[in-house]
Amino acid sequence: MRLLLLLVLLGPQTSQACPGVKTVVSSKGLDYVTNLVTDWVQKKILSADLPVISGSVDIGIGSVGYALYDMRVVKVDMPQPSVNFVEKTGVRVELSGLSIAVEGRWRTSYGIIKDGGSFDLALFDVSTSSLLQLESDYQARLAVECLSCDAQIGNVDINFHGGASFIIDVFVKFFPGRIKSLVEDHICPIVQDQVKNLEGILAAIKVDYPVYPNLIFSVPLTNSPVVQSSGMELDSKGVFYSATHPKEPPFPSEDFQLPSEAGYMISMGISQYSLNTYAYACLTDGLFQINITDKMIPPSVHFRLNTSSFGVFIPQLPKMFPNMLMVLQVFADEAPAVSLHMDSFSLLLTATVKAYAIDNTTAYRPLFRLKLTTEFSGKLNIGNNTLMGNMQFQNLTLSLVTSQIGTFQTKTLEGTASFLVKSYLPKLNAMLQKGFPLPVAKGVTLAGPVLQVQQGFLAVYSNVQINLPSRTWEEL
């Protein structure tokens, strides 16, 4: 049952109608998780605490009470289980040919006759079949339910050692069938208990994650998992919010179809809607605003942020406000907009620039207000679980909105702004190379990921490596 939890780790930890993030786990991914879990399950069986088995069996001349205790598993021969997706349902787990060897102590009682000793027990050709349904719970998290379970044991071989009464000889003839029935009856309740434990673990998984600098990434499921025979798709909201000023994005989400790639373990789709909610969350958190002062300009730069230098662009400015420092308040009226196209992307930045002169009393004297629009294009790549990019400057326009110093031409100022943006672009690209972490769970690494920029969304195809710390394995 821990197998399903690892499937969740391959994608978003699970609302709106259209998901911002889609994750598809293929049959190849399911096979990888199965291989990963098989050795762990075998070790888990070897270290399992076995309960005391007690009861009575009728041997024709009365009932013999018995107890098997101090049991421990000494050997497990576990073949690879068969795990397959079942369309519109979930996962079927089948195991056949399992053999387990157990050693322990026994005691019997027949009236006043009591006996005891040690025993060796071997279960041969144990087989189980379980059908597990995958769905979304009321909190939009992944949920699992055991719809059916069947268990059978091919043969039981038990050897009792010690004992001196004649009762044990008669008892041994009747007991193997009894123990076979008992173990068969206990297998499915154990499976169902493990499914309930898994359900508790899934219910504790968060759907909101903190993201630097002050954002929340919300990834509840938008619907129950879409299960087909070839794979399972998890659709998640994939929306960023400001942690202090959460607001729903004012633009709609749009559905997209993620092409599947059977050659990879997982396929992940990230819509441009999801990327744009990041920009909107930054806007609502007040991150897209800055006051530019003369102190921020390096001393080596000849141009200073004062009315005298700005006289090159606005001749009347130094006459009206001579020898005054200036401050530029730059802020976004709307969030930057990312558009994804085949093999490329574009970015539109719109900002307002308010200029002030600082008089001798340090009061701000309003001068003018500009609208700045900048367009970029770029390419995206992927590496180390991170989405990275590189941008090229396309265009910049600057227009006068209002002025307290009279009208003036903005063409020269626009050219200077374009030059400054182009000069800053290498630093911006260096920041983009640090990248945007892809929404994969802790302990999961993408192996050989391939990125495709589609119309309106990003598609990432990859194999994975799961490296969970030992403490996490113990909790599963």
pLDDT of 58 strictly over 90: no
pLDDT of 195 strictly over 90: no
Is 21 part of any domain? Answer: no
DSSP class of residue 191 equals H
Statement to judge: residues 74 and 61 lie in one domain? yes
User: pLDDT-based confidence at 218, cuts 50/70/90?
Assistant: very high
Statement to judge: residues 200 and 214 lie in one domain? no
Quick check: 475 and 200 in contact, CB under 8 A? no
User: What pLDDT, on a 0 to 100 scale, did the predictor assign at position 152?
Assistant: 93
User: Cα separation of 191 and 45, whole Å?
Assistant: 13
Q: What is the pTM of this model?
A: 0.81
Is 255 part of any domain? Answer: yes
pLDDT of 473 strictly over 60: no
pLDDT tens digits for 297-327? Answer: 888 888 899 999 999 999 999 999 999 999 9
Statement to judge: residues 214 and 359 lie in one domain? yes
Statement to judge: residues 129 and 153 lie in one domain? yes
CB count within 10 Å of CB 214 equals 15
pLDDT of 10 strictly over 70: no
User: What pLDDT, on a 0 to 100 scale, did the predictor assign at position 469?
Assistant: 58
Statement to judge: residues 128 and 40 lie in one domain? yes
User: pLDDT-based confidence at 166, cuts 50/70/90?
Assistant: low
Statement to judge: residues 177 and 81 lie in one domain? yes
Which of 206, 239, 274 is the last residue in one of the domains? Answer: 206
Is 12 part of any domain? Answer: no
Statement to judge: residues 166 and 92 lie in one domain? yes
Sheet holding 215-218, edge to edge: 208-211, 215-218, 239-242
Tell me the backbone φ, ψ of residue 459, rounded to 5 degrees.
Answer: -120, 125
Average pLDDT of the chain, as a whole number: 87
CATH number of the domain that residue 316 is part of: 3.15.20.10
User: Cα separation of 316 and 405, whole Å?
Assistant: 7
User: pLDDT-based confidence at 1, cuts 50/70/90?
Assistant: very low
Is 6 part of any domain? Answer: no
Complete DSSP assignment for 23-57:
EEEEHHHHHHHHHHHHHHHHHHHHTPPPPPEEEEE
Statement to judge: residues 252 and 264 lie in one domain? yes
Statement to judge: residues 236 and 150 lie in one domain? no
Domain of residue 216: give its range.
208-457
Mean pLDDT of 345-373: 94
The total number of structural domains in the chain stands at: 2
Is 433 part of any domain? Answer: yes
Mean pLDDT of 230-251: 93
CATH number of the domain that residue 193 is part of: 3.15.10.10
Is 229 part of any domain? Answer: yes
Statement to judge: residues 398 and 449 lie in one domain? yes
User: What pLDDT, on a 0 to 100 scale, did the predictor assign at position 476?
Assistant: 52
User: pLDDT-based confidence at 63, cuts 50/70/90?
Assistant: confident
CA distances, 270 to each of 23, 176, 450 (Å):
9, 57, 14
Q: Nearest CA to 403 among 334, 320, 288?
A: 320
Is 277 part of any domain? Answer: yes
Which of 166, 191, 206 is the last residue in one of the domains? Answer: 206
Quick check: 113 and 105 in contact, CB under 8 A? no
The most confident of the ranges 32-36, 144-148, 352-356, 384-388 is 352-356
pLDDT tens digits for 104-160? Answer: 999 988 888 888 899 999 999 999 999 999 998 888 888 999 999 999 999 999 888
CA distances, 423 to each of 197, 349, 429, 442 (Å):
57, 17, 11, 38
User: What pLDDT, on a 0 to 100 scale, did the predictor assign at position 11?
Assistant: 44
Which of 172, 206, 240 is the last residue in one of the domains? Answer: 206
Is 19 part of any domain? Answer: no
User: What pLDDT, on a 0 to 100 scale, did the predictor assign at position 439?
Assistant: 67
Statement to judge: residues 223 and 196 lie in one domain? no
Statement to judge: residues 216 and 191 lie in one domain? no
Of the given ranges (221-230, 240-249, 420-429, 434-443), which has the lowest mean pLDDT? 434-443
